[in-house]
Amino acid sequence: MADTRSGRIRHGGNLRKAAHRFEIPLEDWLDLSTGINPLGYPVPSVPPDAWRRLPEDDDGLAACAARYYGAERVLPVAGSQAAIRALPVLLTRGVAAVAPLTYGEYAPAFRRAGHRIVTLDVNAQDLASEVGHVIVANPNNPTAEHVSRDTLLRWHAQLTKRGGTLVVDEAFADVDPSASLADETARKGLVVLRSVGKFFGLAGIRAGLVLAAPALLHALADMLGAWTVGGPARHAVLAAFADETWQRETRERLHGDGSRLNALLAARGFEVHSMPLFSWMPTPRAESLQHALAERGIWTRLFDLPDMTTSLRIGLPGTEGQWARFERALAEVCA
């Protein structure tokens, strides 16, 4: 999610700015401002050739990713952000529906490509007749809302008749992939974006995957050019996707930790919407809560968009010591 009020997109994860603002050394912070798994995948040592050689598309990464997602075709990209910027140019110009509170790069990207942006009603069974494209995050960041497979496929059928496209951002779907449309992406007019940054905790390698029909993937690959995902990143993703034991154990842990965070916040009287990697709280106290926690060296993500209730997103602590620190701080600020 990003704030575009100033014309420039403002993202979370800006810990260095917080450290400067509150005059607390960077190493003394507990960063809960993102929805990234704090105990990410332990990438094995990178082979020397991954640093020295240009990356090769036939190294098995695309096939490995297709197996992991249960998809027919997958295109590795330099983070899903690369695809978000490029996809709108490849789609027929029209009306694009985007949720009012979601990842903030979509509306500007579609607007730059000549599309008109309208607000998506995520509870609607049928799309407005003017809508040509729908962009939805599932689950949504930051509201944690889920849209059912049946609803998404109904929207896709409606859009297909209009020559439109359904774009589903599943960056947080690895924790619970039951609603994923990855297995449907051979269909024309359906694009699914996946990320290894959230569940696998590997945001720094900037690797993402686009799942779609061959024609669109070819066009996207031509637009993005060669060597979009570097050798060390490809090595990390291949290892992470193959490690089914780590995936299973991590899903179990994250579900438990997500429930723990939800219960901790709800016990303080907050309205909490959550998924395993973060909790989101709409509250008029959001700004003062963020400030009070920041004074204690704990950074969270504030959403203060115009005409919407302010809200706070809080990610997971990674260790018992961090949990204890957060619980103490929360008790102090809520007192």
User: What is the average pLDDT score of the chain?
Assistant: 93
> What is the average pLDDT across 325-335?
95
Query: What is the mean predicted confidence (pLDDT) over 118-130?
Result: 92
Would the pLDDT of 210 be above 60? yes
Question: What single string gives the DSSP state of each residue in 202-270?
Answer: -GGG--EEEE--HHHHHHHHHHH-S--S-HHHHHHHHHHHH-HHHHHHHHHHHHHHHHHHHHHHHTTT-
190, 46 Cβ separation under 8 angstroms: no
Phi-psi region of 269 (alpha: psi -120 to 50; beta: other; left: phi over 0): left
For the segment 100-119, the average pLDDT, to the nearest whole number, is 93
State how far the Cα of 80 lies from the Cα of 106, in Å rounded to an integer: 11
Question: Which residue has 């950074």 as its token pair?
Answer: 299
SS3 45: coil
Q: How far apart are CA 123 and CA 293, in angstroms?
A: 34
**CATH says 15-39+245-334 is which class?**
alpha beta
Give dist(CA 236, CA 36) in Å, integer.
16
Q: What pLDDT digit, counting tens, does each position of 234-278 carry? A: 999 999 999 999 999 999 999 999 999 999 999 999 999 999 999
* 121 close to 102: Cβ distance less than 8 angstroms: no
Mean pLDDT of the 280-286 span: 96
Stretch 151-175: mean pLDDT: 96
Domain ranges of the chain: 15-39+245-334, 49-243
Whole-angstrom Cα distance, residue 236 to residue 208?
12
pLDDT at 4 over 90: no
Assigned CATH topology for domain 49-243? Aspartate Aminotransferase; domain 2 (3.40.640)
Q: Give the model's confidence band at 2: pLDDT under 50 very low, under 70 low, under 90 confident, else very high.
A: very low
Query: For the residues 171-175, what does the mean pLDDT come to?
Result: 96
pTM: 0.92
pLDDT band for position 307 (50/70/90)? confident
At 35 the pLDDT is: 93
**Across 94-99, average pLDDT:** 95
